[in-house]
Amino acid sequence: MNKPEEVLYSSEQLQAALHIAYENMLAFKRYKQTPVVIVRDGRVVEVSPDELTAADQKAA
């Protein structure tokens, strides 16, 4: 394993990669016409991928 002082990726790079993965997941869910399962107000709910945006990702 890497030493703690070794940083392979910056925080910005990791954030960008997660954003791309999130957008790809939404595109896949739209293509398959399946809901996204999320936790909202402590409850597990199914939401249409069209209802979710990049702003929702930051709130999660």
Instruction: Show the DSSP H helices in the chain as ranges.
Output: 11-32, 54-59
> According to the model, what pLDDT value does residue 58 have?
56
Give the start-to-end residue ranges of the domains of the chain: 11-59
| pLDDT tens, per residue, the chain with 60 residues | 566 677 788 899 999 999 999 999 999 999 999 999 999 999 999 999 999 876 565 555
Q: Are 48 and 35 in contact (CB under 8 A)?
A: yes
> According to the model, what pLDDT value does residue 52 have?
87
> According to the model, what pLDDT value does residue 36 have?
96
The reported pTM is 0.71
Distance of alpha carbon 58 from the chain centroid: 9
